[in-house]
Homo-oligomer: A and B are copies of this chain.
């Protein structure tokens, strides 16, 4: 299941994508529009900024804005950033790889093979869907 953090991130990004003409948007505006705690959203937007997805402007008239085009931001990127690994096992993760303690040999582990398939099927969707697929008013 996706965490609330992840869902909030999608909501915020969607809002920003739909209001790109506005320039910098206040955290508060996103928070109240999407029913998210201001301070919690603050952390999320900061993470998205550090990941190079959002830009920000401080002081009066400041706020957050998209730094990339919506069609360049894949769902996979957001999910990995805020939700963690997409794979079901660490030994199968492309971005968060870790050796499985219980599995003696990945090459011969049947679980490993199947979990690779699950991962690839999932990635086939979320690597090819972007923020632009989430926007409703898609002019």
Residues of B within 8 A of A97 (CB): none
| Number of this chain's copies in the complex | 2
In the complex, residue of chain B having the shortest beta-carbon distance to the beta carbon of A88: B2
> Do B117 and A125 touch (CB < 8 A)?
yes
Tell me, in angstroms, the Cα distance from A117 to B35 when the chains sit together.
27
> Do B108 and A1 touch (CB < 8 A)?
no
Residues of B within 8 A of A118 (CB): 122, 125-126
Q: How large is the interface on A (under 10, 10 to 19, 20 to 34, 35 or more residues)?
A: 20 to 34
State which of B2, B85, B88, B111 has its C-beta within 8 Å of the C-beta of A134.
Answer: B111
> Do B121 and A125 touch (CB < 8 A)?
yes
Residues of B within 8 A of A87 (CB): 1
> Do B90 and A114 touch (CB < 8 A)?
no
State which of B1, B84, B102, B133 has its C-beta within 8 Å of the C-beta of A110.
Answer: B133
In the complex, residue of chain B having the shortest beta-carbon distance to the beta carbon of A79: B88
A interface vs B, CB < 8 Å?
A: 1-2, 7, 10-11, 34-35, 75, 84-85, 87-90, 102, 108, 110-111, 114, 117-118, 121-122, 124-126, 129, 133-136
